[in-house]
Amino acid sequence: MCTTTSFRVIKADILRRISGGEWPPGSLLPNELALAREFGAARATVGRAMRELVDDGIVERKRKTGTRVRPVPLRQVRLDIPLVRVEVEAQGSSYRYALVSSESVPAPNWLRARLDLRQGAEMLHLVCLHLSDGHPYQLEDRWINLGAVPQARQADFSTLGPSEWLTRQMPFSDIEISFSASAAEPEQARQLSCAVGDPLFRIERQTFWEGRPITFVRMVYRCGHRLIARY
């Protein structure tokens, strides 16, 4: 007999019994103490298995009420947001970066509304192209709040992309990200070598640090791009 019982074994066994119908959706599981006795483990070990099942969206726990199988399992994906360079290199392609334009301008109104900037806030506006094996891969339209990140004035974005630069400057920021589809504008079509109006996959991301708006970026990918995840 196996004397040591891993929380993984317990988790897997509980999951098996849920999938197998022994504990159908909505039903109540035995309490921690009972399970600990059954598995011959300490209560903390069962607790850890349970905590992971909660994280995975399989069960819900409430004090006094006990542990229930979720009536409908919570499906969730964990998406890694890699740097474009890493993404391209992971596909076995060569990565190249090009700065298309760079200028310092007052924030346009649409951006002020989105980032809650004061009127006339000075922004560094960059357009960058990321290439995979020499072909356009992603077009990056980047706005950096110079009031919050003044050192961006001195940065050289001709060789290092602003994403990489920013993650080094402010590695731990709060982010809102959105995924959508948009039609290629003439300038985008030119940069990405596609037709005007082509459907492009778009990611927009705005970043805050201690409540202050740091940057807004709109990334459009070459035609046909997909973001894939498993769970």
Q: First-to-last CA distance in the chain?
A: 34
150 contact, one of its own copies, DNA, none, CB 5-8 Å limit per kind: none
83 binds its own copies (CB under 8 A): yes
63 binds DNA (CB under 7 A): yes
Distance CA 74, CA 81 (A): 22
Residue 142: CB minimum distance to its own copies, A? 16
- Nearest C-alpha neighbor of 10 from the set 63, 68, 53: 53
Which stretch in 6-14, 100-108, 151-159, 191-199 sits in contact with its own copies by CB under 8 A?
191-199
Which stretch in 63-71, 82-90, 181-189, 209-217 sits in contact with DNA by CB under 7 A?
63-71
With CB under 8 A as the contact rule, the residue among 66, 73, 106, 108 that binds its own copies is 73
48 binds DNA (CB under 7 A): yes
DSSP letters along 115-135, please?
HTPPTT-EEEEEEEEEEETTE
43, containing H or E segment: helix 43-55
Which stretch in 14-22, 115-123, 138-146, 151-159 sits in contact with its own copies by CB under 8 A?
14-22
Q: Does residue 95 contact residue 88 with C-beta atoms inside 8 Å?
A: yes
With CB under 7 A as the contact rule, the residue among 67, 132, 207, 215 that binds DNA is 67
The DSSP call for residue 174 is E
Distance CA 176, CA 149 (A): 18
The number of beta carbons lying within 10 Å of the beta carbon of residue 214 is 23
63 binds its own copies (CB under 8 A): no
Q: Which residues bind its own copies (CB under 8 A)?
A: 15, 18-19, 25, 58, 72-83, 164, 167-168, 171-172, 174-183, 197-202, 224-231
